């Protein structure tokens, strides 16, 4: 889950960016990082047994973070995996 981990790391890094702090967007990036971590944890726990739970969680997210997570999953596991397990695809 190299790309999903990078997404999480990048989102967390944004929470200390002075511009993000000035624009009062720290909480949004923290929430996005948390959402990505939740999805990642559901995917990797118990050898994928919780992927249906990850899919339900992903479907409830705001568009922007959902798309970022989908892109990362597709890069890590392939678009076929994303489509089969989550019902989403990327181009």
Q: Domain of residue 17: give its range.
A: 2-86
pLDDT, residue 5, reads 98
- The answer to which of 2-6, 41-45, 81-85 has the lowest mean pLDDT is 41-45
Give whole-number Cα distances, 89 to 2, 15, 74, in Å.
Answer: 19, 29, 8
The verdict on residue 69 lying in a domain is yes
Q: Please state the domain count of the chain.
A: 1
The verdict on residue 91 lying in a domain is no
The verdict on residue 64 lying in a domain is yes
Distance CA 50, CA 86 (A): 12
pLDDT, residue 45, reads 87
pLDDT, residue 91, reads 87
The verdict on residue 18 lying in a domain is yes
Q: Each residue of 55-87: pLDDT tens digit?
A: 999 999 999 999 999 999 999 999 999 999 999
pLDDT, residue 77, reads 96
And the tokens for 71? 């892109």
């Amino acid at each position: 889950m190299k790309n999903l981990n990078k997404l999480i790391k990048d989102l967390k890094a944004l929470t200390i960016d002075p511009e993000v702090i000035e624009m009062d967007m720290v909480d949004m990036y923290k929430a996005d990082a948390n959402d990505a971590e939740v999805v990642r944890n559901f995917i990797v726990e118990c050898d994928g047994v919780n992927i249906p739970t990850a899919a339900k969680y992903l479907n409830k997210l705001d568009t922007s973070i959902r798309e970022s997570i989908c892109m990362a999953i597709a890069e890590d596991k392939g678009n076929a995996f994303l489509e089969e397990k989550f019902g989403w695809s990327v181009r």
